[in-house]
Chain A
Amino acid sequence: MGANCVDAKVNYLLRQGDNALILSQRLSELCGKGPALEEDMALTNVALDLLGQTRMWYTYAGELEGQGRDEDRIAYHRDAHDFKNCLLVEQNNGNYADTLVRQFFFDTWHYFLIGALTKCGDTRIAEIAEKSLKEVTYHLRRSGDLVVRLGDGTEVSHAKTQTAVNELWMYTGEFFNYDEVDQAMVAAGIAPAADELRAQWLAHVSDILAEATLAMPAPDAWMQKGGKQGRHTEHLGYLLAEMQFLQRAYPGSQW
Chain B
Amino acid sequence: MSKEWPLWEVFIRSQHGLAHKHVGSLHAPDAGMAINNARDVYTRRNEGVSIWVVRATDIVASSPGDKDALFEPSNSKVYRHPTFFPMPEEVKNL
Question: Do A's and B's CB atoms come within 8 Å in the complex?
Answer: yes
A45 to B36 Cα, complex, angstroms: 12
Q: Chain B 12-43, CB within 8 Å of chain A: the 1/0 string?
A: 00000000000000111100110011011100
A146 CB, min distance to chain B CBs, angstroms: 9
In the bound complex, how far is the Cα of B35 from the Cα of A42, in angstroms? 12
Distance in Å: Cβ of B45 to nearest Cβ of chain A: 12
Contact status A38-B26, CB under 8 Å:
yes
Q: Which of B5, B32, B40 contacts A42 (CB 8 A)?
A: B40
Smallest beta-carbon distance A225→chain B, Å: 34
CB–CB A38/B32 < 8 A: no
Chain A residue nearest to B37 (CB atoms) is: A38
Complex Cα gap A141–B29 (Å): 17
Contact with B along A144-171 (1 / 0, CB 8 A): 0100010000000000000000000000
| Contact B36 A41, beta carbon cutoff 8 Å | no
Say whether A42 contacts B36, CB under 8 Å.
yes
- Of A41, A138, A141, A149, which one neighbours B37 at CB under 8 angstroms? A41
Q: Is the interface of A mostly helix, strand, loop or mixed?
A: helix
Give the contacting residue for B27; candidates A38, A138, A141; CB below 8 A: A38
Is A36's CB within 8 Å of the partner chain B? yes
Task: Please give, as numbers and ranges, the residues of chain A lying within 8 Å of B36 by CB-CB distance.
Answer: 42, 141-142, 145
Q: Mark B37-73, 1 if CB is under 8 A from A, else 0.
A: 1011100100000000000000000000000000000
Is the CB–CB distance between B27 and A45 below 8 Å? no
Residue in chain B with minimal CB distance to A142: B36
Expressed in whole angstroms, the minimum distance between the Cβ of A155 and any Cβ of chain B is 15
Which residues 94-152 of A sit at the B interface, judged by CB distance below 8 A?
A: 138, 141-142, 145, 149
Chain A positions near chain B (C-beta within 8 angstroms): 36-38, 41-42, 45, 138, 141-142, 145, 149
In the complex, given contacts A38-B41, A42-B40, A145-B32, what are 5 additional A-B residue pairs having Cβ atoms less than 8 angstroms apart? A38-B33, A41-B37, A41-B40, A45-B44, A145-B36
The 19 listed contacts between A and B (C-beta, < 8 Å) are A36-B5, A36-B27, A37-B27, A38-B26, A38-B27, A38-B28, A38-B37, A38-B40, A38-B41, A41-B37, A41-B40, A42-B37, A45-B40, A45-B44, A138-B39, A142-B36, A145-B32, A149-B29, A149-B33
Closest 7 CB pairs of A and B: A38-B37, A41-B40, A42-B40, A45-B40, A41-B41, A38-B26, A142-B36
